[in-house]
Amino acid sequence: MKEHKITGLSCGHCALKLEEQIQQLPGGERAKVQFNSSKIVLDEQMDLDSVRSILSTENVRFESDGEPTGPNWLMIGLYVSVASFIAALITEHMMNITYVSILFYAVATIASGYSTFLKGLRNLTKLKFDINTLMTVALVGAVAIGEWKEAALVAILFGINELLESYGMEKARRSMESLLKVAPKEALLLRDGKTEVISIEELAVDDVVLVKTGQKIPSDGVVVYGKSSVNEAAITGESLPVEKESGENVFGGSINNEGVLHVKISKTYNQSALSKILALVQEAQESKTPTELFINRFANYYTPIIMIISALVMLVPPLLFNDPWGEWFYQGLAVLIVGCPCALILSSPIAILSGITVNARNGILIKGGAYLEQLGKINIIAFDKTGTLTLGEPHVVAEKAFHPDFYKVAYAIEKSSSHPLAKAVVAKCREVGAEEVEADEITTVSGQGITAVVDHKTYRLGNEKIIGSMHADEDVINVIESFKEDGNTIVLVASDTEILGVFAIADEIRKESPDIISLLHEKGIRETVMLTGDHPIVADKVAKKTGVSSFFGGLLPEDKVEKVRSLKKHGKVAMIGDGINDAPALATADLGIAMGKGTDSAIETADIVLMQDHLGKLPDAVQVSRKVNTIIKWNIGLSLGLKLLALLLTIPGWLTLWIAILSDMGATILVTLISLTVLLHNRK
């Protein structure tokens, strides 16, 4: 299958009809016309000329065919129509020359309505009923009963309506396209001391590229030379620069703010975080939400129902009540125009596309409109603890020294270790300015800790087992018990005869977690729950500091799954984790949200990825999704409500052709403008 960009596609209902026709061509069974992104997916063996012929019936063409030569006849036709209509009004009401005004009305009708008329005739021969068919019948009927002014006004308003539909969808598409343009196109390859400009697709793993000030880093890699601040907004949505130096990872698409960097490529561009993000965002444009699927199904029944109502309006009053045929024939034509489903079909896609775009700008990757819609319905959020509410990095929260050599000995023993607890101890020792000496004869004692020789004396470092049966003063025991009661991990430092001191180590709570939990409750999340494998004492401590509604500790992965299932009985549940250990729980929840910062596992696991690797933008995402859901409901209500109001006007016989078209035009304007307000979210 091959993807082609198309232009001129402004009507969602038309896109569905084009897709049906193309699927009937040889090899077209799997063809897709993607309205949101204005693309068409075709089998590579398909005859493109046949596809072009079908597309041309709706004034749609392949972008690769270039810009249309000659003038824009549709726009010119609209100008001619408006001018002719004004001329008709002048000749009719000021000069009282009826036959000349009819001529001007006819020109106005033909100039704006000729393409609709031709499409409608083709549809009538195939017994297909869409907006073009309805408009054609209405225009011919109006002319047949001498309503020239009404016919001209309907043709003009319908033309304006089509332009408005096109504007709204193009605005949302351009916003999405501007987001997708962050991808780099070229790279400066360093080879034998010289630079060479190559295409991004030619980059290979282990190539070294030169990135100058203001340039985009071409793909994921590692800095091998240079120091600079880098703007990672394309990946994380964070506008604040991140300092990078030799040995640190960088993302493709991020911008070098200053200086020069040499970057060793670790992934080809197609495997880079940015490439995967952009691919998923593009796919997200075309994923249909349950609401969109319902609207499309409803639209297929709506138009035939309107045609039946129109026939009843034309026939019932004259036949049963002996009312004038002409008057009710006119009313029936007006009802036909109310059958246009365009505003209804536009109720959802512009808002969904805008919502996905706004979240992507904020570094929140939503993999489809269905997930955006689901996020707006979530009322319970379950959090993993480690790496989600906490940093996932142990640090010393308290310590007590009983001997002057406490820090020196601890530093000497731990500084060469890569264990997370050792890193926490080393960081604290450096913070207090511990003397740096070397440790010898370092030996690991399984399940207990380490023994080593420092300044010709043997020392021990580890948990309580490392001190064996050594007698400890009551003060020392009280300190240890106090640290343990707070849910901390204990690291003791001792000689053969005495305890030098004790470290209390815990996972550091993210500084933003309490505020984020509070904000989520304000945004309408009814319950926040922490699920963790840590000891319940530790869980209780973190829960109190973060403000979650409830917590469950000591859980295995399968236990988390059961808890999520239990929570689902009480509402719509989102599960937030790291995308690896919590994969079963993420899959079980109504919505899986991963902490990512561009990691492959996070991008591939969850329905939504927080690319910043923190919860800071989560309340914003909830707010945007709820706004989108509210807008879609309003749009559906407005589009159907205005049409219902127009239909009710048939009861007293007040419905006119121009009121009918205005009801659809008004709905289209409101639906478009309201949907585009999503793009204004967070803009200052």
Q: What is the pLDDT of residues 161-174, one digit of tens each?
A: 777 767 766 777 77
Full 3-state SS string of 594-617: EECCCCHHHHHHCCEEECCCCCCC
pLDDT for the residue numbered 62: 85
Strand partners, 530: 383, 551
Mean pLDDT score, 189-207: 89
Is the distance from CB of 513 to CB of 618 less than 8 angstroms?
A: no
Choose between 151 and 631: higher pLDDT.
631
Statement: 2-65 belongs to CATH 1.10.3720.10? no
| Span 317-356, pLDDT tens digits | 899 888 888 888 888 888 877 777 777 777 888 888 889 8
Q: Which of 142-156, 388-402, 516-530 has the highest mean pLDDT?
A: 516-530
Residue type, 14: C
**Is the pLDDT at 12 greater than 80, yes or no?**
no
The H-assigned helical ranges of 415-535 are: 420-431, 474-485, 513-522
Which CATH code for domain 366-384+509-619?
3.40.50.1000
Which residue shows structure tokens 């016919």?
A: 151
Reduced to 3 states (helix: H, G, I; strand: E, B; else coil), residue 452 is strand
Sheet holding 439-445, edge to edge: 390-401, 499-509, 489-495, 457-462, 449-454, 439-445
Statement: 391-508 belongs to CATH 3.90.1150.10? no
**Record: fold of 186-218+220-266:** 2.70.150
Element (H, E) at 196: strand 194-199
How big, in percent rounded to 5, are the helix, strand and coil portions of the chain? 50, 20, 30
Backbone torsions φ then ψ of 383, nearest 5 degrees = -115, 135
Which residue shows structure tokens 């549809």?
A: 123
Which residue shows structure tokens 């300092």?
A: 243
Is the distance from CB of 422 to CB of 393 less than 8 angstroms?
A: no
Structure-derived torsion over alpha carbons of residues 475, 481, 484, 489, reported in degrees to the nearest 10: 50
**Is the pLDDT at 522 greater than 90, yes or no?**
yes
Mean pLDDT score, 666-677: 86
Percent of the chain exceeding pLDDT 90 equals 25
pLDDT for the residue numbered 70: 47
**Is the pLDDT at 562 greater than 90, yes or no?**
yes
d(CA 560, CA 388): 15
| Span 374-427, pLDDT tens digits | 999 999 999 988 888 988 788 998 999 999 999 999 999 998 887 888 999 999
d(CA 594, CA 612): 11
Confidence of residue 549 (pLDDT cuts 50, 70, 90): very high
Does the active-site annotation cover 559? Answer: no
Residue type, 651: I
Element (H, E) at 32: strand 32-34
Sign, CA torsion 34/35/36/38: positive
Instruction: State how beta strands 439-445 and 364-366 pair.
Output: unpaired
- With CA atoms as reference, report the closest residue to 621 among 230, 370, 358: 358
Is the distance from CB of 642 to CB of 399 less than 8 angstroms?
A: no
pLDDT for the residue numbered 56: 81
Is the distance from CB of 504 to CB of 514 less than 8 angstroms?
A: no
Is the distance from CB of 490 to CB of 480 less than 8 angstroms?
A: yes
- With CA atoms as reference, report the closest residue to 344 among 295, 305, 380: 295
Of the residues 130, 384, 607, 620, which is catalytic? 384
pLDDT for the residue numbered 119: 78
Residue type, 37: S
Instruction: State how beta strands 364-366 and 608-610 pair.
Output: antiparallel
How confident is the prediction for the chain on average, in pLDDT?
84
| Span 262-313, pLDDT tens digits | 999 999 988 887 787 777 776 766 666 777 777 777 767 777 788 888 889 8
Q: What is the residue extent of each domain of the chain? A: 2-65, 77-184+273-362+620-684, 186-218+220-266, 366-384+509-619, 391-508
Is the distance from CB of 232 to CB of 275 less than 8 angstroms?
A: no
| Span 588-632, pLDDT tens digits | 899 999 887 656 666 677 889 888 778 888 999 999 999 999 999
| Span 357-373, pLDDT tens digits | 888 888 888 888 889 99
- With CA atoms as reference, report the closest residue to 164 among 319, 397, 342: 342
**Is the pLDDT at 73 greater than 70, yes or no?**
no
Is the distance from CB of 306 to CB of 335 less than 8 angstroms?
A: yes
- Furthest-apart CA pair in the chain: how many Å? 119
Is the distance from CB of 232 to CB of 242 less than 8 angstroms?
A: yes
Full 3-state SS string of 380-442: EEEEEHHHHHEEEEEEEEEEEECCCCHHHHHHHHHCCCCCHHHHHHHHHHHHCCCCCCCEEEE
Choose between 189 and 122: higher pLDDT.
189
Instruction: State how beta strands 242-244 and 228-231 pair.
Output: antiparallel
Mean pLDDT score, 655-672: 79
Q: How far is CA 256 from the centre of its chain?
A: 26
**Is the pLDDT at 18 greater than 90, yes or no?**
no
The H-assigned helical ranges of 46-94 are: 48-56, 73-93
- With CA atoms as reference, report the closest residue to 251 among 238, 177, 259: 238
Cα-based distances in Å from 390 to 221, 543, 553, 613: 27, 11, 15, 11
Reduced to 3 states (helix: H, G, I; strand: E, B; else coil), residue 517 is helix
d(CA 199, CA 218): 10
pLDDT for the residue numbered 684: 43
d(CA 126, CA 132): 13
Q: In angstroms, what is the C-alpha Rg of the chain?
A: 34
- With CA atoms as reference, report the closest residue to 217 among 366, 176, 280, 229: 229
Locate 570 and state its tokens: 């009480």
Choose between 136 and 625: higher pLDDT.
625
Confidence of residue 221 (pLDDT cuts 50, 70, 90): very high
| Span 427-481, pLDDT tens digits | 999 999 999 899 998 888 877 889 999 999 999 999 888 887 777 788 888 998 8
| Span 563-596, pLDDT tens digits | 999 999 999 999 998 756 677 888 889 999 988 7
